[in-house]
Amino acid sequence: MATAKSRTQCSICNKQKNTYNCYGCSKDFCSQHLTEHRQLLAEQLDEIIDDHDQFQQTIIQQKQNPIDSSLIEQINEWEKNSITKVQQIAQECRNTLMKWTQKSINDVEEKFINLSEKLKEIRKENEFNEIDLKHFQLKLTQITQELFQPVNISIHHDPQEIIKKISIISLSKRDRFKLNKWNQRGIVIAGSNQQGDQLNQLSAPEGIFIDNHNNICIADCDNHRIVEWKYHSNKGQIIAGNNGRGNRNDQLSYPINVIVDKENNSLIISDYENKRVIRLFRRNPTKQQILISHIYCWGLAIDKHGFIYVSDWKKNEVRRWKEGDERGTIVAGGNGRGNDVNQLNRPTYIFVDKHDSLYISDSLNNRVMKWKKNAKEGTVVAGGNGKGDSLKQLSYPCGVTVDHLGRIYVVDNENHRVMCWCKGDAEGKIIVGGNGEGKKSNQLSYPTGLSFDEEENLYVVDWGNNRVLKHEKIC
């Protein structure tokens, strides 16, 4: 579309004429060159339409034959190699079987010849009775069984896979981790004003919980209180404790963790040294309820059904509790202290996913365990290669959480870093920290808890620096 203007200079012939302005390129054209300009645009449009039509034909062809031929070739190659390998092993087993079968037949034949010689001998001497007959009959039966059912030959199934399994993975999902990065320099959003008990200070903080408004509840352990830092606030407010260390209903003693029960608008707190789990109602802070007693509670989690999960640090187990339950149900561990797949060794933080699978930081085993619902044993999903600082190892894992893609985020306490382990990976990736112990914005000092907000920003409890850091997601 063009609009007429008074006499101006044409952008093509540079003559003063009645011109028309083109909205697209903002140039002025005389009537002659405007026609040429329109023809040029029409030709470009035709080229685009041709490209469009060609791409449409490509889509139709792809729908008729949607599979990438190069990928099919890879699958065919895997199939061919796997079949060849199976055939080789099968032939080796056949050869071995023939060898041992022939040996077994030879042994039977030798026994049969010996038996025949004895039969001929007693018949010739005519010296035999009923006992001798039974003995020879038994020997003949045994030899017959050995011939048709050799006891020294059987098929052994090796549990180790001889074929490497393949599967199809969406590249967008496989590479999605590369798109998730966090600013290595954290922003202090709570504490970091030296260790203390003022409202702008923390003392050995442990677990945190972030609500939908990005307000942060912090288990301020050595101050025996739970503090809440409102979004963008420079100090917290005490919402539980603040009455000194003790075991009264209005006191706490070294609280380790705190979660929010949205259904009941309440806080659930692991009051570690008092060996109890308590509920504190938001609308009535004086109304405090002891949910569980006589438990060395550390980690806390709540599932979609409202069941509460608690890790018992000393009994090396995790129990699931419902309202009014007096004993709870063991859902992980409970088989003594150890490093077998049905055991735990000082479990700390825990997480429950939407499938009711439980993830446990098994601290002194330096691993994260996953226990599926109703499972009798767990599987190692992070660490488990001894204590160390390689990408395959953890050293006293603490806070743990899992995202919707099944990626496991774990605080690697003694390595002063936070790691991510993707499903099936042999090693993890450092996402923040890992720059040695320190108090710089890109360093951590014995971190403990972690959490994400709804924008996937990462929050880390920097225990040794008495602060909470926010690492913003940058892509």
40-82 residue pLDDT tens: 878 888 878 877 777 777 677 666 665 556 677 778 888 888 8
The pair of structure tokens assigned to 342 is 């049905």
For 62, counting Cβ atoms within 10 Å of its Cβ (0-12 exposed, 13-18 middle, 19+ buried), the class is exposed
Confidence (pLDDT) at 136: 67
Residue 324 pLDDT: 75
Fold of 187-471: Neuraminidase (2.120.10)
Q: Which residues of the chain have pLDDT under 50?
A: 171-177, 179
Cα–Cα distance for residue pair 338/343, rounded to 1 Å: 5
DSSP at 417: E
Q: What is the pLDDT of residue 82?
A: 85
Amino acid 115: pLDDT? 73
> What is the residue type of 63?
K
Side-chain half-sphere exposure of 354, counting CA atoms within 13 A: 4
DSSP code of residue 413: G
465: left (phi over 0), alpha (psi -120 to 50) or beta: alpha
pTM for the structure as a whole: 0.64
Residues 6+ apart with CB under 8 A from 90: none
CA distance 190 to 182: 19
Q: So what's the pLDDT on residue 66?
A: 58
What are 268-302's pLDDT values in tens digits?
A: 999 999 999 999 888 776 677 899 999 999 999 99
pLDDT at 289: 87
Q: How far apart are CA 194 and CA 339, in angstroms?
A: 38
For residues 298-310, b (16+ Cβ closer than 10 Å) or e, as one string?
Answer: bbbbbbeeebbbb
pLDDT for residue 239: 92
What angle, 0 to 180 degrees and rounded to 10, lies between the N-to-C axes of helices 130-148 and 69-125?
Answer: 160
Binning the chain into helix, strand and coil, the percentages to the nearest 5 are 25, 35, 40
pLDDT reported for residue 109: 79
